[in-house]
Amino acid sequence: MTDVLAIADHRRGELRPVSYELATAGRELADETGGDLHLAVISGAVDEFGEKLAREGVDVVHTVADGEEFNHDVYVQAIEQLVDTIDPQYVLVPNSVNGLDYAPAVAGRLDLSIVTDVVDLAVDGDSLIATREMYGGKVETTTELDAGTALATIREGEWPEAEGTADASIEAFDAEIDEDAVGSTVTGFEEVAGGDVDISEADLLVSIGRGIEEEENLDLIRDLVDALDATLSSSRPIVDNGWLPANRQVGQSGKVVTPDVYIAIGISGAVQHVAGMKGSDTIVAINTDPNAPIMDIADYAIHDDLFDVVPALIEEFQ
């Protein structure tokens, strides 16, 4: 009852990096509970994945060979049986789109308390202390779970990836999957966001967010883009509104960009946005809110109204 079970994430034949981050987070937690760290990988090329996952800090890797691509019904059943066998105190799942598609169901099925999108975890006696953000990152909170066993989904990119190799034992886990209980089928994948420009190729990105308020105001930003000979990108709401095509979206569900200079205008810096641009060389933020989370990663900041600053900047380059 002191062990930790973490579930790896993979897609279309590749382990996602968060799998190794889970190994780090899981090891830290297992050190606090004094238990072993079990890492499970479900569906797909599990033998190959299993070898890769045997990194430092991992005690046992469980491979569950059922299925090819992710299917939440297979995951829920497999994890239920893994938990039955391993009897862990804590279950860790990535806070990925797929993680969120099965973690709440696993918690429900096994009557575990669930806490999502955590950025830090600690154990205090019988309680799990989870740190998470609220209000789009404006505040941080701690939540105490006094349940014996609990499930936490961890935010991607918060823990370093486990490195090296461990002499973890790799064990095939024989799950019994009831096919009748599988009520959804994946029929394919599609890459979106192709088209005329590839914002990930740009050296200078002018990126606009909801601070622009109205579609008409985009002309102002287009003028800036022209004046700087830059490329235009945006946060998600601009694409959701249909003001720009999907290939302009930066972030978790859009493109990952690493330009020399990224100018974020009227963008708050939500975690899903930052995931797509934090690797930029130089980040400039123009935002009326000095406490906007984007300021945490900005190199240069202007705490002012974009409708004043942008015209002045255009002026500079004319």
Site for ligand FAD in 134-173 (CB under 6 A): 136
Contacting residue, 20, 49, 75, 102, with other proteins by CB under 8 A = 102
Please name the helix (run of DSSP H) or strand (run of DSSP E) that holds residue 207, with its range, or none: strand 204-208
**95-123 burial, b if ≥16 CB within 10 A, otherwise e?**
bbebbeebbbbbbeebebbbbbbbbbbeb
User: In this structure, is the dihedral angle defined by the CA atoms of residues 139, 144, 147 and 152, taken in order, positive or negative?
Assistant: positive
What mask, x for binding ligand FAD by CB under 6 A, covers residues 294 to 313?
-----------xxx------
What mask, x for binding ligand FAD by CB under 6 A, covers residues 90 to 129?
----------------------------------------
Residue 246 in contact with other proteins, rule: CB under 8 A: yes
What mask, x for binding ligand FAD by CB under 6 A, covers residues 251 to 270?
xxxx-----------xxx-x
- 63: exposed, middle or buried (Cβ count in 10 Å: 0-12, 13-18, 19+): buried
Pick from 175, 170, 171, 169: nearest CA to 67: 175
The span from the CA of 110 to the CA of 116, in Å, is 16
The residues in 23-52 that bind other proteins, with binding defined as CB under 8 A, are: none
Stretch that binds ligand FAD, among 56-64, 80-88, 126-134, 284-292 (CB under 6 A): 284-292
Contacting residue, 98, 235, 247, 280, with ligand FAD by CB under 6 A = 235
Residue 237 in contact with ligand FAD, rule: CB under 6 A: yes
Residue 122 in contact with other proteins, rule: CB under 8 A: no
Which of the choices other proteins, ligand FAD, none does residue 65 contact, using the CB cut-off of 5 to 8 A by kind? Answer: none
Contacting residue, 51, 141, 195, 201, with other proteins by CB under 8 A = 141
Residue 92 in contact with other proteins, rule: CB under 8 A: no
The CA-atom distances, in angstroms, between 57 and each of 21, 28, 71, 78, 308 are: 11, 9, 28, 23, 53
Contacting residue, 190, 196, 214, 219, with other proteins by CB under 8 A = 190
Q: Say which DSSP state 162 is in.
A: P
Residue 29 in contact with ligand FAD, rule: CB under 6 A: no
Residue 284 in contact with other proteins, rule: CB under 8 A: yes
Pick from 34, 47, 38, 29: nearest CA to 2: 34
Min CB(164)–other proteins separation in Å: 26
Which of the choices other proteins, ligand FAD, none does residue 267 contact, using the CB cut-off of 5 to 8 A by kind? Answer: ligand FAD
Instruction: List the alpha helices (DSSP H) in 252-305.
Output: 271-274
Q: Say which DSSP state 112 is in.
A: -
- What φ, ψ does residue 139 adopt, rounded to 5°? -130, 160
- 177: exposed, middle or buried (Cβ count in 10 Å: 0-12, 13-18, 19+): buried
The span from the CA of 199 to the CA of 179, in Å, is 43
Which of the choices ligand FAD, other proteins, none does residue 19 contact, using the CB cut-off of 5 to 8 A by kind? Answer: none
Provide CB contacts within 8 A for 205, sequence distance 6+. 199, 230, 231, 232, 233, 250, 257, 259, 261, 262, 263, 277, 280
Provide CB contacts within 8 A for 126, sequence distance 6+. 146, 148
Contacting residue, 23, 255, 262, 266, with other proteins by CB under 8 A = 255
Pick the closer one to other proteins by CB: 191 or 216: 191
Stretch that binds other proteins, among 20-28, 39-47, 172-180, 286-294 (CB under 8 A): 286-294
Residue 279 in contact with other proteins, rule: CB under 8 A: no
Q: Residue numbers of the site for ligand FAD (CB under 6 A)?
A: 136, 209-211, 235-237, 249-254, 266-268, 270, 272-273, 276, 286-289, 292, 305-307
